[in-house]
Amino acid sequence: MSLDLLIKNATLPDGRTGVDIACSGGLITAVEPAITADAARTIDADGQLVSTPFVDSHFHMDATLSLGLPRMNVSGTLLEGIALWGELKPILTVDAVVERALKYCDLAVSQGLLAIRSHVDVCDDNLTGVEALLEVKEKVKPYIDLQLVAFPQDGLYRSETAEKNLLKALDMGVDVVGGIPHFERTMDDGARSVKRLCEIAADRGLMVDLHCDESDDPLSRHIETLAYETQRLGLQGRTAGSHLTSMHSMDNYYVSKLLPLIAEADVQAIANPLINITLQGRHDSYPKRRGQTRVPEMRDYGINVSFGHDCVMDPWYSQGSGDMLEVASMGFHVAQMTSRADIRYAFDCATKHPAKALGLQGYGLEKGCKADMVLLQAADTIEAIRMKATRLAVVKAGKVICETPPRIATLSLAGRPETVNPAAYAPNEAG
């Protein structure tokens, strides 16, 4: 039988080298050295890295690529971003949101980003974003797993119609229950919202992903309530705390009690390094806090940590390119996770950890997994992050859906080589 695709001589994220990957019927049928079989297409990876696709566990696709509409965020703060989004929402149209989202998905594919969890604001009585992103979800289904979170941006209780709209969005087909407890009027309302949202998810058999404690206030402790409700309602593994930035500023003694509770409830932790480093610490003089949650400490407790992109060219963030390697790079820098093992871990935070958080089925580079993968111009995962490596080929269901030529520069220097391949600078190291 002829294969759909055969990739020869790949290095895998776990360090295996000289591996061939056979794909047929949309699945990986073999991962082993020296496969000899006919294939509709054969790619020589030439020892470079083949990874599972990148996964973004936290994004806002209803706002993406809206930069400058209706104006720029001058202060750069979270609160001006929310205010700006409030100005933009009434003038959004379904068509415009769909067009921008599809354009972003094209970029995502070119970056090997094939699964995205996007929050969608439900604090708009017309549910324009919900209607638009449900349409986008269907359109991109052949190439991107788009998971949607019903997100009450203005607060479940602070906004009068938020709960009604959230339930309607879930009825319309939105996948996950969202929330923003630190933005409610009081700590009590925040805790009440966590309880209510978890109950909605338990009743409907859904997952939960809250914007949780996106604050520098060390007393913002809604993650504690989320862990408690997860445990109480039997939602282990199905809830996520996004941002968790207040943990950066919390008292160490309290954190030493909190982390085991998060681990015990199997709450998924999602940091958003690019956004957390720019939005947090804004009320500080010097020293300025970084605001990223405690990634290495959570890792050490066995908590599943992912990195999300959060924003690309929207009211909150003017940069971004759908590149999860840039996100991973910022993540390990901010966390000062600089050992070789740490940087490999950062790569996992943009691939297999978020795949687990999203509950993706068939994700992996093993026989029987979906034939979704990315060939990178890099020797390994550390090199991929260092160079924000070119995605040479992006494969979905055993078909190449995007290709980019390798980045090779031409030199005109007497006595020096004619070309420079940035991937040729990998260190010689064992292990």
Please, which residue, 120 or 303, has the CB nearer to Zn ion? 120
Near Zn ion by CB under 5 A, which window of 42-50, 76-84, 195-203, 309-317?
309-317
Q: Please, which contacts does 284-293 make with residues 24 or more away whose CB atoms are closer than 8 Å?
A: 284/216, 289/216, 289/248, 289/249, 290/248, 290/334, 291/216, 291/245, 291/248, 291/249, 292/245, 292/248, 292/331, 292/334, 292/335, 293/243, 293/244, 293/245, 293/247, 293/248, 293/269
The residue whose two tokens read 């790949």 is 10
Residues numbered 310-329 forming contacts with Zn ion, rule: CB under 5 A? 310
- Footprint of Zn ion on residues 54-113 (CB under 5 A)? none
* Cα 349-178-135 angle, rounded to 5 deg: 90
Specify the pairing of strand 207-212 against strand 27-32: unpaired
In angstroms, what is the minimal distance from the CB of 212 to Zn ion?
10
CA 116 to chain centre: 6
Q: Which of residues 216-275 bind Zn ion (CB under 5 A)?
A: none
Nearest distance, CB of residue 119 and Zn ion, angstroms: 6
Q: Measured at CB, which residue is nearest to Zn ion?
A: 310
Q: Which residue has the tokens 């000899």?
A: 36
Alpha-carbon span 385 to 344, nearest angstrom: 9
Choose the catalytic residue: 87, 99, 214, 326: 214
Q: How far apart are CA 331 and CA 349, in angstroms?
A: 9
Task: Compute the least distance from the CB of residue 34 to Zn ion, in Å.
Answer: 46
Rounded CA separation 146/361 (Å): 13
Name the residue nearer to Zn ion (CB basis): 77 or 404.
77
Helix (H) and strand (E) counts in the chain: 14, 18
Region from 220-228, 284-292, 304-312, 408-416 binding Zn ion, contact rule CB under 5 A: 304-312
Smallest gap from Cβ 130 to Zn ion, in A, equals 16
In whole angstroms, the minimum distance from the beta carbon of 60 to Zn ion comes to 6
Give the interface segment with Zn ion, choosing from 138-146, 176-184, 307-315, 408-416 (CB under 5 A). Answer: 307-315
Strands 373-376 and 391-396, how do they pair? antiparallel
Size of the site for Zn ion (CB under 5 A): 1
From 34-42, 159-167, 218-226, 305-313, span contacting Zn ion (CB under 5 A): 305-313
For Zn ion, the closer CB: 243 or 352: 243
**Shorter beta-carbon distance to Zn ion: residue 59 or 157:** 59
- Quick one: 184 or 310, whose CB is closer to Zn ion? 310
Q: Is 214 among the catalytic positions?
A: yes
Catalogue the active-site residues. Answer: 214
Binding site for Zn ion (CB under 5 A): 310
